[in-house]
Structure 1
Amino acid sequence: MPPAPATSKPDFPWWLAVAATLALASAVFIAANGLYAQVFATVAKGIGITIFVTVVAFALASVIGLGIALMGLSGSRVLRQVARFYVEIIRGVPILVLLFWIAFAGAPAFVAAWNALTAPLQIAGILGELLVRDVSLLWRAIMALTIGYSAFISEVFRAGIQAVEKGQIEAAKALGLTRAQRFRLIVFPQAIRTILPPLGNDFVAMVKDSSLVSVLGVADVTQMAKVYAAGSFRFFETYSIVAYIYLILTVGLSLALRALEKRLRNQQGE
């Protein structure tokens, strides 16, 4: 009987050791250099907006994406076609174009529709007239990212749900579980293990794409850098700091998501 093959040990993450060393060395250099410290202090003011935009837009996109995925898997032909139409159309529009359209066409159209629907309440003095400037550019940017990413996330949810064995769903039906109970107790807990890796990739991608909101003047990391660089002409130092901040955010998130995936994999193997 041939001997069992030896289990290969995972490679030591030398890339992470090198990256961590470079990150630490860069942090020391930034702290010790007056110019880079000033640039970092200025640009870092936008980190809160970057994180806020990413978290809120991703949470909303996940909710909408799940709803679109369930529509696409429903028994209604109309709902399936509506979901397919939404996904294909939204995925075909670049995020930057969608951002401009929502900000400068969608928001005014929404305000006009809102005022038309609430006209009786406005005449009665219950509500005031909504103006376009009342819809902040920050929320226009968040809605653009939400709509853009919801189409991609819906496909992630759809693939994960369809990966669950149909035999388990049939068994749940035989036990008398309702459709909602089957989804909550049987389908979703198993699908999340398939969904999490690509969903995490979308989250990291949104962190980077959140920099697009700077074109609307939203004071995120990129916008703070643009303003500082335009006034000081320190383009190399400024955008080096921007790249450093985004690398810290994205690599840190990637490591956290990888650790979560490993934990779920270990729980599945138990």
Structure 2
Amino acid sequence: MSLMPHVAVKGFFNLCHVAVILMKRVNRRLCFLDYALLALCCGAVAMLVWKMQAGREYDWQWGVIWQYFFRHDAQEGWVANLLMQGLLTTIRLSIWATLLAVVFGTLAGLARVSRSRLSRMLARTYVETVRNLPPLVLVFIFYFFVSSQVMPASGLEDALYGLSTWQRQVVEFLFGPVQGVAAFAAGALTLAIYEGAYIAEIVRAGIESVEHGQWEASASLGFGRFDQLRLVVLPQALKVIIPPLAGQFISTIKDSAIVSVISVQELTFQGLELMASTFRTFEVWTTIAVLYLVLTLLCSYAARRVEARLRWQT
């Protein structure tokens, strides 16, 4: 399966993300360069639209896209269609991957500042190995390992198909369709391990940002190493850790598109399916990009609110 649509969507999102960062400057007085940059961006968009209309004579058919958000079922009424199903799967995948990544990253980050040389070496090996491997390679490694080794050995697939109706509904709400749980688990685990390596460095930097005098003061009160971390150091480090951690969640949403190569039916995968069936390339990928952008902008807004609250409490 070609990765060009995934690269195009991620490239478009990164361009939009840069624009959002530039728009944060509205709190100060705009200068001539700001207006010139805005005019240049508008001109580029206008030129692109004109080229599509005049040069390619492209016939936009947005009506083809809207029907893939929701569909009407004779028994269940209005239900989610392909695009909405893909969006929900992306949200599920990002949440589970982030939760696991926080666990992996926190343990690795604590190991990075441990007194044990072995713990530091193991944590550094994990961080350096994962950060220097392409995520696509990790996706294939964990997909074939989980789907061909772990799932059959655990008997989980047979157990899933033997669930009652309400139990299957709970599983589908949390992980998506039962037949895709193996691919979903492989994708979530891959993203968690990949993002966990970056979270480990965030945790390490947050702990090291706390003054060494805090360690000495807590030690003088008779606290052990664990109590020093739990009661004194980590509460202070959280104010440094949480803002970049929120940014890492946004990165997880963007990186989740890579698992479309193992047939996890998230947003990018559904976009590939729609493009192949409708041949409406521009409409499909513009819609996918907008959905990613809306989702990440909402997360960025929530992250800024959390950061502002932490700054106010400092």
- How many residues align? The count is 226
Aligned to 1:219: 265
8 A contact 2:131–2:194 mirrored in 1: yes
Aligned to 1:127: none
> What runs of 5+ residues in structure 2 fail to find an aligned partner?
1-25, 39-61, 71-81, 156-178
Residue 67 of structure 2: SS of its match in structure 1?
helix
Identity %: 38
Cα offset for 1:80? Answer: 1.1
Distance in 1 separating the partners of 2:146 and 2:185: 12
TM-score, L = length of structure 2: 0.67
2:64 maps to which of 35, 50, 60: 35
Distance in 2 separating the partners of 1:227 and 1:135: 19
Whether 1:187 and 2:187 are equivalent positions in the alignment is no
8 A contact 1:39–1:241 mirrored in 2: no
Cα offset for 1:105? Answer: 4.1
Residues 58-94 of structure 1, C-alpha deviation per residue, up to 9 Å, x if partnerless?
A: 1101111111111121111111111111111111111
AA aligned opposite 1:241: T
Residues 39-74 of structure 1, C-alpha deviation per residue, up to 9 Å, x if partnerless?
A: 444312211110111010111011111111111211
Cα offset for 1:113? Answer: 7.8
Distance in 2 separating the partners of 1:48 and 1:179: 42
Distance in 2 separating the partners of 1:10 and 1:226: 40
Aligned to 2:196: 150
> What runs of 5+ residues in structure 1 fail to find an aligned partner?
1-8, 19-32, 116-132
TM-score, L = length of structure 1: 0.77
CA spacing shift, 1:157–1:136, aligned 2, 3 Å:
same
CA RMSD of aligned residues (A): 2.4
Whether 1:175 and 2:221 are equivalent positions in the alignment is yes
1:59-70 equivalence runs, <5 A? 59-70=99-110
Aligned to 1:198: 244
Distance in 2 separating the partners of 1:72 and 1:212: 28
Cα offset for 1:235? Answer: 0.9
Aligned to 1:94: 134
Cα offset for 1:197? Answer: 2.0
Whether 1:234 and 2:234 are equivalent positions in the alignment is no
8 A contact 1:39–1:238 mirrored in 2: no
Aligned to 1:209: 255
